[in-house]
Structure 1
């Protein structure tokens, strides 16, 4: 069969390419239905990813957050029409210690090889997780982003001490929202505080125990553990404040991506005996746990609907460009592309 792939060939320019794919394969064939635009996709789209990276990785189909429906399973195990979330991480080896998303040999869609902007996606069956039949697919589209929080909290659970009275989350964006939400569900007896800088964003965090502006944190505020979701240059200021307000032997989960090195007060890290726990991306186990949480706490899915910023029906290549351009000015939530091309 001829598969159409919609690749970014240069900043702000998409082109259709055609690839002959055999259906005589072990792969499950998925028709993408809903795709979500990520900040990483935008860095490629706008050409701000860096000249060297752009030369190495383009042309490339974008998007690593997406869901779809099964078209064909060569083993006949998964019925056509089954709703699934697609796992963008693709490992090529197994390690008894290192998780699949940290193996240097693993590839990640829309970061080195083609993402989900295709007519059909061919996936190993361990790269998909079945979704509840009644789930809102606009919300499910950004499940990959949710799995980043789930992966980080899974690592936290195995490495942090058991005193979990108060959590602090720095960053009032999408990831901060998801992290606060999941902390409240997974640790219902703990206090969760969001530390942010934008009033209208912080107003969305209706489920947290407290919301504090980062320019007016009371000196007596203390937390047991923290999650940094600020990213960029803001990561440095977030980590600085966390180190000041975290209790000794607390764990700092680092999730915000910074393009440049940041300064960290290692003297106080040492004095307090802190653990800095970095987490990146996720694997199939994290997707499975996320879907299980969707099923156990359906109200979580309802809260996640707050993150839907804009939706676009994609019927032609110009619609893709329009969605990416409008997403650049979207200050809250996720832009969802309903993939009808």
Structure 2
């Protein structure tokens, strides 16, 4: 059995268009309710990805952060109306590595359609139920929270030196989320945030200390989390290597379109471990949902990241939301998806 579905795809930078598709009634069919714009979505929308990448991937429906309500589930595991977070990573084939690092996996909003459509059809293991009492606007970016969660989980496995002092570089969305989770998951550790914008740093009220990157003296950290990205990653990584104690870990989250040079001499001298982090998998989504269940006060902090809430009933609304998000620079734009 099939259902008619309307998909809202980016045809070229700053131009969305509707398309009618058919979806099979199999797996779990979800109607999106709350979506969240990511920097990766903006890079497609603004046309800032290399031209050959845009030519290869567009047209494509954007957005890989979102929640929705179950419309249909052929297994009976979910019932109509259940609120679920949608997992954008889709494993394809068996791998020795985690699916979020596999070249065989497909990722929504990056190579195939994301969540800007009336209905989304997913396998049962690509959705995780969330409690009705969750803050739905915050829940829209559980995917982003899960990225930080999986990086911290990997860090816990490889760090061999004390975790007395943890440093987070970056005062943006991911830096905020990473620092918040570190403070929750490692309550006995000091969490220090290093950033560039004083206005942003003032939101990190849960951190033990915050510093502007040009005002750092006499500080040593055990492990570092780089959440800066772009060309600014180089400055952040250089400072991390200077301040980190021997045999610490440098956990990289920031994405750059260009190669970033690293001072390998000091990496070798200090015996540092560098770990890359990208995307997440089902166990990370479950971990985030359980963490939020057990620590509902986290919603109050995470809500501070929301700078725009946009009702989406037309393509013009969608375009305006992307434009507002781009101007905001900091924080998350939530789309209340009424398509």
TM-score w.r.t. length of structure 2: 0.98
Q: Which runs of 5+ in 1 are unaligned?
A: none
Could you say which residue in structure 1 is the equivalent of 2:163?
164
Could you say which residue in structure 2 is the equivalent of 1:81?
81
Q: Deviations over 1:167-205 (max 9, x none)?
A: 000000000000110000000010000001101000000
Could you say which residue in structure 2 is the equivalent of 1:53?
53
Could you say which residue in structure 1 is the equivalent of 2:267?
269
* Superposition deviation, residue 162 in structure 1: 4.5
Q: Deviations over 1:218-266 (max 9, x none)?
A: 1x20000000001001100000000000000000000000110011000
Q: Look up the SS of the partner of 2:230 in the other structure.
A: coil
Q: Deviations over 1:130-177 (max 9, x none)?
A: 111101111000111101100100110111114100000000000000
Indicate the RMSD between aligned Cα atoms, in angstroms: 0.8
* Superposition deviation, residue 78 in structure 1: 0.7
Q: Look up the SS of the partner of 2:179 in the other structure.
A: helix
Return the alpha-carbon distance in structure 1 between the equivalents of residues 94 and 205 of structure 2: 41
Could you say which residue in structure 1 is the equivalent of 2:249?
251
Could you say which residue in structure 2 is the equivalent of 1:117?
116
Matched, 1:28 2:60: no
Return the alpha-carbon distance in structure 1 between the equivalents of residues 329 and 227 of structure 2: 16
Q: Which runs of 5+ in 2 are unaligned?
A: none
Return the alpha-carbon distance in structure 2 between the equivalents of residues 296 and 224 of structure 1: 28
Q: Look up the SS of the partner of 2:297 in the other structure.
A: helix
Could you say which residue in structure 2 is the equivalent of 1:329?
327
Return the alpha-carbon distance in structure 1 between the equivalents of residues 232 and 44 of structure 2: 21
Return the alpha-carbon distance in structure 1 between the equivalents of residues 332 and 322 of structure 2: 11
Q: Which consecutive aligned stretches of 4+ in structure 1 deviate over 2 angstroms post-superposition?
A: none
Return the alpha-carbon distance in structure 2 between the equivalents of residues 199 and 259 of structure 1: 26
Return the alpha-carbon distance in structure 1 between the equivalents of residues 321 and 130 of structure 2: 25
2:307 to 288, 306, 309: 309
Across the two proteins, how many residue pairs are aligned to each other? 337
Return the alpha-carbon distance in structure 1 between the equivalents of residues 150 and 77 of structure 2: 28
Asked if structure 1 preserves the Cα contact closer than 8 Å seen for 2:161 and 2:248, the reply is no
Could you say which residue in structure 1 is the equivalent of 2:146?
147
Could you say which residue in structure 2 is the equivalent of 1:227?
225
* Superposition deviation, residue 331 in structure 1: 2.7
* Superposition deviation, residue 332 in structure 1: 2.0
Q: Deviations over 1:79-113 (max 9, x none)?
A: 11111000000011233x41011111101000000
2:17 to 3, 6, 15: 15
Could you say which residue in structure 1 is the equivalent of 2:212?
213
Q: Look up the SS of the partner of 2:215 in the other structure.
A: coil
